[in-house]
């Protein structure tokens, strides 16, 4: 049978601060119109999931080790948050910086677990999640699905 998901979880963006190509034109990242074009793509993705009967849970990008990439991810997160806010019946934004950042929301490679032991949450490239970070974030996403969307997961 065809799967009919109730929820679509989306987390992407680390490779997105680059030129957007479409309908015969290209817009460079940072150029006038890029934010609006990116926002349109976010909106289309949400609308497509909603049209199929699914609520979108969009997970924001976490803090990055490199300051320039971190700044770009904050721009993307803001664009996504604006689109989600405009479609709050069909989408929910979940920040990852409180789950994967230090107390101030900055990059950290290690965070303590519930027992106080330091767990490696990010890979040495300062971008990707280490298994400990993936586990930490997945538990937060599951918690959001239960608490914000009131969907009971096994």
pLDDT in tens, 8-53: 999 999 999 999 998 889 999 999 999 999 999 999 999 999 999 9
On average, the pLDDT of the chain sits at 95
Residue 1 pLDDT: 62
Residue 40 pLDDT: 97
pLDDT in tens, 89-134: 999 999 999 999 999 999 999 999 999 999 999 999 999 999 999 9
* Per-residue pLDDT at 3 exceeds 80: no
Residues in Cβ contact with 145 at an 8 Å cutoff, skipping those fewer than 6 apart:
7, 9, 57, 151, 153
């Amino acid at each position: 049978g065809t799967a009919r998901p109730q929820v679509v979880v989306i987390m992407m963006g680390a490779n997105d601060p680059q030129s957007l190509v479409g309908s015969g034109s290209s817009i460079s990242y940072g150029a006038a119109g890029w934010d609006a074009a990116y926002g349109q793509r976010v909106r289309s993705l949400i609308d497509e999931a909603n049209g199929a009967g699914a609520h979108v849970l969009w997970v924001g990008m976490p803090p990055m080790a490199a300051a320039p990439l971190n700044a770009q991810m904050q721009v993307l997160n803001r664009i996504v948050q604006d689109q989600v806010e405009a479609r709050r019946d069909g989408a929910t934004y979940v920040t990852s910086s409180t789950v994967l950042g230090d107390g101030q929301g900055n990059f950290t490679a290690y965070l303590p677990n519930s027992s106080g032991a330091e767990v490696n949450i990010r890979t040495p490239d300062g971008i990707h999640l280490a298994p400990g970070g993936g586990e930490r974030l997945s538990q937060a996403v599951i918690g959001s699905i239960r608490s914000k969307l009131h969907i009971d997961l096994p």
